[in-house]
Amino acid sequence: MDYRKLGQEITELVGKKDNIARLTHCATRLRFELHDISKAETEKLKALPGVITVVNNGGQYQVVVGNEVQQVYRVITQQMGSATRSADSKSDSGKNNGPKQKQSWISRFISVISTTFTPVIPAIIGAGMIKAILAVLVLTGLVTTESQNYYILNTIADAAFYFMPILLAYGASIKFETSPIMAMTVAGVLLHPGWSALMTEGKDVFFIGVPVRLTDYAGSVLPIIIVVWLMSYIERFADRVSPSMIKFFTKPMIVLLITAPLALVAIGPFGTYLNDLVAMGAEAINARASWLIPLLMGTLQPFLIVTGTAWAMTPIATSQLTKNGYEMINGPGMLASNIAQGGATLAVALKTKNKKLKQLAASSGFTAVLGITEPSLYGVTLKLKKPLITAMIGGGVAGIYAGLTGLVRYAFVSPGLAALPAFIGSNPMNIVHAIVTCLIAFIVTFALTWIIGFEDPVDDEEEGNTNVNDDKTLSGQPVQDHTPGTKSAATTNANVLNQNEIHSLMIASPMQGELVHLDRVPDDVFSLGLLGKGAAIIPAKGELYAPIAGEVTAFMDSKHAVKLNGYNGEEILIHIGVDTVNLKGRHFDSSIKVGDQVQQGDLLISFDIDAIKAEGYEVITPIIIANSDRFPDIKLEKQRSVEVGATIMHLS
């Protein structure tokens, strides 16, 4: 591949180097922050030889190029020269000296909400599922609302919502590049029992003569985000004015002494006012046209996911859940949309003659009706177009029913069949309306997809090829010895693999954990096999070992991903976690470097599973055969718990 040419073409199609505010990369993708996203020519980028796909999400414009990302990155940074260095560099105060990204206020708002809420999602989903389970227990009479069991479980479920400002402070601190601990401390001030006591007394409160509005910040969203944004500037100021000898004491004192009073006196009440204003607007629309918001959400949810704007309504939904115990902004319309996506995709699975599409549609359609639609959307309906249209129609029709019947969601979960208990609450008919909404979405969409049809892609799968997700295993076949001898991996890989000599290569498990299919990875680039076939492991221990003997040909500075070229021509990419490049090496430790020769079983990377999860990242680890095209038959062992060194794949 001509990396220089590819790098030049990518630079040209993202709007030329002057449009690039910042460029980073992970193990497989270039991550651009662009001044003007409209200048990027996405379809032309996707069509470039060497580009796998393009993802625009979370304020980043990601160009997926696979294993050659480092070479292409170097070419682009060389072309940009000092522009890249200034964009990536920071002054001592932490302020970015590079050009600012010229985004619309809507794009900036969505980027802030996305980054802030991402680490919080596991907590509020976990709490939401406990709420759903509790609803089932009460409905079946196993628990009463007066019992201590109910009280304790309800307290556990409420904690994530009550302390929402503290949880959001962490995500906001990452977005605004300020201290997470200081941000969470300021959030703690807003929730302190002393503040609650002042509210209970109901007396007028003043701070240095300025009246203070008593506001309940439990479960609030916007106030803490605005506070942390301001704190990021105060922290830089404190860093500049604090003498170096006593900075350890003076800097945090200045930050707290300025930020906390401002939060209580001005910013907190202002943020609460904005939060209430938006919520009142949504409730006013719902009161006058209850069908409108579910209709729009049921119809446009796929568009919102693709454009990354699905986060925009999250603050309103969480605020409603906290104050009212239910919400009607996200849940009803999303339920209709998710089930419709599943209906369209399963119709494709039954109707298509393409074996690969049938397998993909069947698995992703099943996960869609359970509530996870990204594999279905990106892998099937978006590509085929007509099923996407029918899914939007079906979601809209079901959304109208949900709105007219007053359907609400009582817990924050991804709406689908698996989360139907989240629709059980004080209104006994609510769950009935939820089930009817699902039936309408599925039946309408399935029927429309079946009648309208779609352009069925030609099945070009060669006879005898077996998908990597096959549960069959090889037995009784000779296996090529992995002993490296004196031959280097680079020399061997330059030669054509002799398929007559190598009948089967066994790939050993690089870690202890649970072996699963790639479709379990919550990243379409991996789960859809865009980088190659393979498997994934949910690690039980934070140690990564070499699955083969070979050479380290790529190793990220962030230490979360490594590529090995084996002595028999296999190329294996291992990526610990999802989006863990953002950790910038935190919680990872390794001494390997590119060019090292390793033996199977050598320790490559150590990592802290709990710390990575605490920062909001998945640790599921894809193991990709980067040159899958050289191995016509790749078979995965059955899903099970595996130890280091156990065979997980056979390459023939």
C-alpha 17: how far from chain center:
28
Token output for 473: 């295993």
3-class DSSP state for residue 427? coil
Residue matched to tokens 């099923």: 387
Among residues 236, 482, 455, the alpha carbon closest in space to that of 348 is found at: 455
Q: CB within 8 A of 414, min separation 6: which ones?
A: 125, 334, 338, 371, 372
3-class DSSP state for residue 402? helix
336 HSE (CA, 13 A, CB side): 35
Among residues 606, 539, 628, the alpha carbon closest in space to that of 578 is found at: 539
| Burial label, 364 (beta-carbon count in 10 A; 0-12, 13-18, 19+) | buried
Report the alpha-carbon distance of residue 139 to residue 524 in Å, rounded.
Answer: 38
34 HSE (CA, 13 A, CB side): 27
Read off the DSSP letter of residue 457.
P
Q: From the candidates 13, 26, 226, 578, which is the catalytic residue?
A: 26
Q: What are phi and psi of 582, to 5 degrees?
A: -65, -15
Read off the DSSP letter of residue 597.
E
Alpha carbon distances (Å) from 645 to 48, 483, 549, 600: 39, 15, 12, 8
Strands 505-508 and 550-555: unpaired
Alpha carbon distances (Å) from 13 to 33, 87, 104, 236: 14, 19, 21, 36
- Is there a catalytic annotation at residue 26? yes
Report the alpha-carbon distance of residue 97 to residue 165 in Å, rounded.
Answer: 30
Report the alpha-carbon distance of residue 304 to residue 88 in Å, rounded.
Answer: 30
CA dihedral 376, 379, 384, 390 (to 10 degrees): 10
| Burial label, 386 (beta-carbon count in 10 A; 0-12, 13-18, 19+) | middle
Q: What are phi and psi of 141, to 5 degrees?
A: 80, 5
Token output for 333: 């319309």
Report the alpha-carbon distance of residue 546 to residue 645 in Å, rounded.
Answer: 9
Q: Are 345 and 387 in contact (CB under 8 A)?
A: yes
Interior angle at CA 554, CA 540 and CA 50, nearest 5: 110
Alpha carbon distances (Å) from 81 to 21, 313, 578: 13, 40, 30
Interior angle at CA 361, CA 358 and CA 366, nearest 5: 130
Residue type, 213: R
C-alpha 451: how far from chain center:
34
Token output for 202: 């109901």
Q: What are phi and psi of 92, to 5 degrees?
A: -60, -30
* Residues catalogued as catalytic: 26
